[in-house]
Amino acid sequence: MADLFVAVGKNIVLMTAVTAWFTAQVLKSITSYWRHREFRAERLTGAGGMPSSHTSLVVGLASAVAFKSGFDSSLFAVAVVLAGIVMYDAAGVRRAAGKQAKVINKLVQELRVEHRVKDTRLKELLGHTPLEVLAGALLGFFMAYAFDQFYPH
């Protein structure tokens, strides 16, 4: 079992992706603090915000695979397709769901007194703007580049 943990710890592709994700989560907390002038602990794990940590994770993964296995490898192709799906979901589907939640929350607020609607707020910050996705992609790529420079194969 200890060998498994050692092997996982030596997997540079995995470590690159996880480090990109963690860095994005920390940066998301910092940008949230800068914007709102208060620390919000949920920004360390929550969805949405600048930069996109999901995008950092998958672009870091795809880039690390490219640097390790080559841009012409089948594994890189799979990683790029996965990254594309995640980025589309972050900037498209989840962002649209967040906008819908905002409208629903407003409707509930207006109807709750007259119609005794339970005041349960939906989470509005679900997706990302294209800029947040781009920032996450750049972070993931540069994290993979840095790992490739410091831990050559």
Q: For 9-38, b where at least 16 C-beta lie within 10 A, e where not — what string?
A: eeebbebbbbbbbebbbebbbebbeeeeee
The region of weakest confidence among 2-6, 93-97, 132-136 is 93-97
Which pLDDT does position 94 carry in this prediction? 65
Which pLDDT does position 34 carry in this prediction? 81
Q: What is the pLDDT of residues 142-153, one digit of tens each?
A: 999 999 999 876
Q: How many CB atoms lie within 10 A of CB 79?
A: 23
Tokens of 66: 């490219």
Distances (CA, A) of 136 to 11, 74, 112, 130, 132: 22, 24, 38, 10, 6
Residue 139 backbone dihedrals phi, psi, to 5 degrees: -60, -45
Q: What is the pLDDT of residues 72-90, one digit of tens each?
A: 999 999 999 999 999 988 8
- Are 28 and 41 in contact by the 8 Å Cβ rule? The answer is no
- Are 123 and 101 in contact by the 8 Å Cβ rule? The answer is yes
Alpha carbon 150 to chain centroid, angstroms? 24
Quote the pTM value.
0.77
Q: What is the pLDDT of residues 105-137, one digit of tens each?
A: 777 777 676 766 666 776 655 667 889 999 999
* CA atoms of 80 and 59, how far apart (whole Å): 8
Q: What is the pLDDT of residues 8-59, one digit of tens each?
A: 888 999 999 999 999 999 998 888 778 778 777 776 677 777 899 999 999 9
